[in-house]
């Protein structure tokens, strides 16, 4: 296989507890466009999956270690956008693409890598990750509209935060507005809001909120959601909140660990 010619590796993994890329697309050096043959491969991939069972899609772009950071961030973003545009043009629902991110260059130490050329070729890529519906484990739901019981956790992949931030994004506010309307219908439902963080050293249990400078980031995220729902006429008596720090990673990428979950405490 000639990796230098930007061939696709079409490798499908089982989507189990540990999420893995189900499609990795390799690009030529300094390129982000695709040939007609490569486009056909992605189109066939879309046809091969049951989109009714897809909860969400994440797209991550990467570059090799040559060039400066700014250029490679743009290039990796362009690669990710190329794949998104192809998915959408082939009929895939764009609303399911919840993460579209260029990660920039993958840094390597040339003098420590046995096959530098091959390593760099593998770093010029896009990872396309699919999350199946209800694939987050037993007792974890993806909607307040599921049949719920006490002890269930509800994870919503639109309520995510930027690194070091407890501020709600526009997408998170939009999702919380929908949740508030559902909670008004389910008036007996009580719950705990749990905040989480990613990317903290093991010696720390929580992250630092860049606004307050406190190491209470997960608490602040949970409190932010608590206060926002209260402004939408959800009774504070129905809700509690706590920060879980970095104790419960999903194992599905850093972005999904910058989240809140809802633990059902009373039906």
190 in the same domain as 74: no
pLDDT in tens, 21-55: 467 888 989 999 987 877 777 777 777 777 766 76
pLDDT in tens, 88-147: 887 788 877 877 888 888 888 877 778 888 888 889 988 887 766 554 444 455 667 667
Q: Which of residues 82, 105, 132 is at a domain's end?
A: 132
Query: What Cα–Cα distance (Å) separates residue 198 from each residue in 56, 157, 167, 245?
Result: 20, 15, 15, 8
Q: Which of residues 86, 113, 132 is at a domain's end?
A: 132
Question: Contact at 8 Å (CB) between 181 and 137?
Answer: no
Boundaries of domain holding 232:
140-266
In the chain, which ranges are continuous DSSP H helix?
36-48, 69-89, 116-123, 170-185, 217-231, 254-257
Q: Which of residues 106, 132, 158 is at a domain's end?
A: 132
- How many domains are contained in the chain? 2
Q: Indicate which CATH number applies to the domain containing 33.
A: 3.30.1330.60
């Amino acid at each position: 296989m000639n990796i230098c010619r930007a061939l696709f590796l079409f490798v499908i993994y089982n989507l189990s507890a540990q999420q893995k890329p189900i499609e990795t697309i390799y690009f030529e050096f300094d390129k982000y466009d695709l040939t007609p043959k490569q486009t056909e491969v992605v189109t066939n991939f879309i046809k091969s999956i049951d989109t009714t069972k897809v909860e969400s899609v994440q797209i991550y772009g990467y570059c090799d270690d040559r060039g400066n950071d700014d250029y490679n961030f743009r290039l990796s973003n362009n690669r990710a956008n190329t794949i998104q545009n192809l998915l959408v043009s082939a009929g895939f629902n764009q609303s399911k693409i919840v993460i579209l991110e260029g990660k920039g260059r993958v840094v390597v130490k040339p003098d420590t890598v046995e096959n530098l050329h091959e390593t760099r070729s593998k770093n010029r890529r896009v990872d396309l990750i699919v999350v199946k519906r209800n694939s987050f484990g037993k007792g974890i739901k993806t909607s307040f509209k599921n049949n719920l019981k006490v002890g269930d956790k509800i994870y919503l992949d639109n309520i995510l935060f930027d690194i070091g931030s407890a501020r709600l994004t526009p997408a998170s506010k939009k999702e919380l507005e929908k949740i508030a309307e559902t909670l008004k219908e389910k008036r007996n439902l009580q719950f705990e809001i749990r905040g989480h963080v990613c990317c903290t050293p093991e010696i720390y249990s929580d992250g630092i909120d860049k606004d307050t400078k406190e190491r209470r980031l997960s608490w602040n995220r949970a409190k932010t959601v608590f206060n926002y729902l209260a402004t939408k006429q959800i009774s504070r008596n129905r809700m509690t909140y706590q920060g879980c720090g970095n104790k419960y990673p999903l194992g599905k990428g850093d972005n999904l660990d910058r989240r809140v979950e809802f633990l059902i405490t009373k039906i």
